[in-house]
């Protein structure tokens, strides 16, 4: 069912559950944010897994909705979209009871399963993918395996609780199990191969019975139920029946928010994790452990370079500086600290003054680390200044992405003419954009609304669903049936875009840093063996 688009149902609600915050955005008929709100949260170790408690999901979402309700009319919401961190493992029994802690993308406990699946499926299955988690619990014969009725991602879980529909956007589904880009469904041949492996391990439930159904962008993926409306807003301002678009992962909504869904376009998201998405115009020649093959929300193949660690180590240093100021009896304004940190990085020596940092708060599969040990190293004569430290920490947050992208640019000869950035590393003007351009040797673009991120991106997908199925009351012109046409024709046609070209000094400085970085990776590996809990 799709609600009739009454004149007062003119707002779209986008919600994204990111790694450090839950954010909500309300879009108007021009697809621009008119209100936004956020709720801070952090992952914790639960039974040795990086995780979030599901009760915190609803605490955060309700807080965001309450904030939005103070600045805009929730009664005017005519469509909803849910996005969240991709991958991971959320599993439930037939009664809807959670069977195991939510195992996020950050966990690296699935090495055996990922290796076996990659070989058997002839397809790179990363450690964080849902299917790797499922096969690992089957191999480990965890108690809950026999009770599994449904597995999903975080976005899929929230959407199910709000709509009753066990579905997933194609982009998010492609981080659960390989997708056939020709039809947007799970790859039938690889489903069969997995079934053989699972049966050999004693698990006989059909895979398609427990996975959510993939859905392409632009279709209605269900409607808000009465119970779902009360979950979102106990005050009852959201009506049952509001249409919902397919829930998507943060990678897909990042592509939408940066208008990077057409072939040969690309974007980079830099927050708690960092990843680059490149929409392909041809299949890759090889299968690479460092490259994930996923899809855009409308089903086009994408090469993804995903690194578990980006800004978390920077956040820890900022907290240290804040604590130092408080200990000295001084006022500590965290936003000013961030601004000073990023500004200082521009004044550091081009290579960071000989400092070396590894930002591995958690494991980093791309460089073979199962656990994280953040490190700062320096030679006795290195220039330990605030500017050099800031520059070095930012370089460290980009370094693993550079290693992964080299596979695409060097081995696969893929030309990256431009990447559009969004996320926390780009929140401060200029610094992240400039240093990343030099580090990747690629022009980096940032749009005026880059800081709205995935919440805006999933809001745009919900708006695309509305205009594709019903259209807004004011629309009399052509209705776009294609996502890329919708984004270019309705959303980004007048968007302000800043592009920074790579600077020679930044390129040479980062190359010098990377020489130290590559040689020192053995130190990071040894640290996980020598420095234990």
Residue ranges per domain, the chain?
Answer: 307-448+499-530
| Token couple for 72 | 């805009």
* 500 beta partners: 444
- Could you give the percent of the chain with pLDDT greater than 70? 96
| Token couple for 359 | 């930002």
CB 104 within 8 A of CB 64: no
Specify the pLDDT at position 408: 95
Interval 214-223 mean pLDDT = 96
Interval 9-23 mean pLDDT = 93
- Could you give the percent of the chain with pLDDT greater than 90? 85
Model pLDDT for residues 85-132, shown as the tens digit of each residue: 999 999 999 999 999 999 998 888 999 999 999 999 999 999 999 999
- DSSP letters, 395-462, are HHHHHHHHHHHHIIIIIS------EEEESGGGSSSSHHHHHHHHHHTS-EEEETTGGGHHHHHHHHHH
- Residue in 300, 501, 313, 303 with CA at minimum distance from that of residue 404: 303
CA torsion sign for 411, 426, 357, 272 is negative
Question: Looking at the predicted structure, is the pLDDT value of residue 5 above 60?
Answer: no
* 445 beta partners: 420, 499
Model pLDDT for residues 148-159, shown as the tens digit of each residue: 999 999 999 999
| Token couple for 41 | 């949260």
Query: For residues 459 and 340, what is the distance between their CA atoms, to the nearest angstrom?
Result: 32
Tell me the Ramachandran region of residue 259: left when phi exceeds 0, alpha when psi lies from -120 to 50, beta otherwise.
left
| Residue 51, number of CB atoms within 10 A of its CB | 20
| Residue 480, number of CB atoms within 10 A of its CB | 17
Lowest mean pLDDT among 224-238, 291-305, 382-396, 450-464: 450-464
Would you place residue 8 in the very low, low, confident or very high pLDDT band (cuts 50, 70, 90)?
low
Question: Looking at the predicted structure, is the pLDDT value of residue 210 above 70?
Answer: yes
Angle ∠(168,171,173) on CA atoms, nearest 5: 45
Helix axes 188-200, 130-139, angle to 10 degrees: 20
DSSP state of 326: H
Which CATH superfamily does the domain covering 307-448+499-530 fall into? ATPase, nucleotide binding domain (3.30.420.40)
Instruction: Please list, in sequence order, all residues whose beta carbon lies within 8 angstroms of the beta carbon of residue 520, skipping any fewer than 6 positions away.
Output: 356, 358, 377
| Token couple for 49 | 């897994």
CB 435 within 8 A of CB 393: no
Q: Residue with structure tokens 């020489």?
A: 515
Do the bridges between strand 49-51 and strand 44-46 make them parallel or antiparallel, or are there none, so unpaired? antiparallel
**What are the angstrom distances between the C-alpha of 232 and each of 22, 87, 236?**
13, 23, 9
Query: For residues 323 and 119, what is the distance between their CA atoms, to the nearest angstrom?
Result: 49
- DSSP letters, 56-82, are HHHHHHHHHHHHHHHHS-GGGEEEEEE
Query: For residues 93 and 100, what is the distance between their CA atoms, to the nearest angstrom?
Result: 10
Which own/partner pairs from 91-100 qualify as long-range (CB within 8 Å, at least 24 positions apart)?
A: 91/134, 91/144, 91/148, 91/150, 91/151, 92/148, 92/149, 92/150, 92/151, 93/144, 93/147, 93/148, 93/149, 94/147, 94/149, 98/54, 99/144, 99/147, 99/148, 100/137, 100/142, 100/144
| Token couple for 440 | 């990747």
Question: Looking at the predicted structure, is the pLDDT value of residue 305 above 90?
Answer: yes
Interval 339-349 mean pLDDT = 97
Query: For residues 250 and 367, what is the distance between their CA atoms, to the nearest angstrom?
Result: 23
Instruction: Please list, in sequence order, all residues whose beta carbon lies within 8 angstroms of the beta carbon of residue 203, skipping any fewer than 6 positions away.
Output: 138, 145
Model pLDDT for residues 163-207, shown as the tens digit of each residue: 999 999 999 999 999 999 889 999 999 999 999 999 999 999 999
Question: Looking at the predicted structure, is the pLDDT value of residue 486 above 80?
Answer: yes
Instruction: Please list, in sequence order, all residues whose beta carbon lies within 8 angstroms of the beta carbon of residue 306, skipping any fewer than 6 positions away.
Output: 126, 128, 273, 274, 275, 292, 366, 404
Instruction: Please list, in sequence order, all residues whose beta carbon lies within 8 angstroms of the beta carbon of residue 399, skipping any fewer than 6 positions away.
Output: 439, 513, 514, 517
Specify the pLDDT at position 533: 75
CB 11 within 8 A of CB 73: yes
* 98 beta partners: 92
Query: For residues 64 and 10, what is the distance between their CA atoms, to the nearest angstrom?
Result: 19
Task: State whether residue 13 is helix, strand or coil.
Answer: strand
CB 401 within 8 A of CB 440: yes
Question: Looking at the predicted structure, is the pLDDT value of residue 475 above 50?
Answer: no
The overall average pLDDT reported for the chain is: 93
């Amino acid at each position: 069912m799709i609600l009739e688009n009454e004149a007062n149902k003119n707002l779209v609600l986008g919600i994204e559950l990111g790694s450090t915050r839950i954010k909500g955005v309300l879009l108007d008929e021009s697809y621009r944010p008119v209100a936004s709100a956020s709720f801070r949260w952090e992952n914790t170790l639960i039974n040795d897994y990086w995780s979030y408690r599901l009760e915190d999901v609803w605490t955060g979402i309700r807080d965001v909705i309450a904030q939005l309700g103070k600045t805009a009319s929730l009664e005017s919401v005519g469509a909803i979209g849910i996005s969240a961190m991709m991958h991971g493992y959320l599993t439930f029994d037939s009664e809807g009871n959670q069977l195991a802690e939510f195992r996020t993308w950050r966990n690296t406990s699935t090495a055996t399963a990922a290796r076996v699946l990659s070989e058997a499926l002839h397809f790179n299955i990363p450690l964080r993918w849902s299917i790797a988690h499922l096969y690992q619990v089957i191999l480990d014969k965890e108690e809950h395996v026999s009770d599994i009725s449904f597995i999903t991602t975080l976005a899929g879980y929230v959407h199910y609780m709000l709509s009753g529909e066990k579905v997933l956007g194609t982009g998010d589904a492609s981080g659960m199990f390989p997708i056939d880009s020709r039809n947007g469904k799970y790859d039938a041949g690889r489903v069969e191969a997995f079934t053989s492996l699972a049966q050999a391990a004693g698990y006989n439930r059909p895979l398609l019975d427990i996975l959510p159904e993939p859905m392409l962008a632009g279709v209605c993926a269900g409607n808000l139920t009465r119970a779902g409306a009360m979950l979102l807003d106990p005050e009852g301002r959201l009506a049952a029946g509001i249409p919902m678009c397919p829930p998507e992962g943060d990678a897909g909504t990042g592509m939408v928010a940066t208008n990077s869904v057409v072939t040969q376009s690309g974007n980079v998201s830099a927050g708690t994790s960092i990843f680059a998405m490149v929409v392909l115009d041809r299949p890759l020649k090889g299968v690479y452990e460092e490259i994930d093959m996923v899809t855009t929300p409308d089903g086009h193949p994408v090469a993804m370079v995903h690194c578990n660690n980006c800004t978390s180590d920077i956040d820890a240093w900022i907290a240290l500086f804040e604590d130092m100021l408080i200990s000295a009896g001084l006022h500590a304004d965290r936003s000013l600290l961030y601004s000073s940190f990023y500004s200082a990085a521009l004044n550091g020596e081009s290579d960071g003054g000989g400092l070396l940092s590894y930002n591995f708060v958690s494991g980093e599969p791309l460089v073979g680390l199962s656990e994280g040990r953040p490190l700062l190293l320096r030679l006795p004569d290195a220039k330990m200044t605030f500017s050099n430290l800031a520059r070095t920490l930012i370089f460290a947050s980009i370094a693993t992405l550079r290693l992964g992208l080299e596979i695409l640019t060097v081995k696969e000869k893929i030309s990256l003419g431009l990447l559009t950035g969004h996320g926390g590393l780009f929140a401060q003007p200029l610094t992240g954009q400039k240093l990343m351009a030099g580090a990747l040797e690629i022009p980096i673009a940032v749009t005026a609304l880059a800081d709205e991120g995935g919440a805006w991106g999933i809001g745009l997908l919900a708006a695309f669903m509305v205009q594709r199925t019903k259209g807004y009351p004011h629309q009399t012109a052509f209705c776009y049936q294609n996502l890329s046409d919708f984004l270019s024709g309705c959303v980004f046609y007048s968007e302000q875009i800043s592009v920074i070209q790579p600077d020679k000094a930044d390129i040479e400085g980062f190359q010098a840093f990377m020489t130290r970085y590559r040689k020192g990776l053995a130190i990071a590996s040894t640290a996980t063996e020598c420095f234990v809990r």
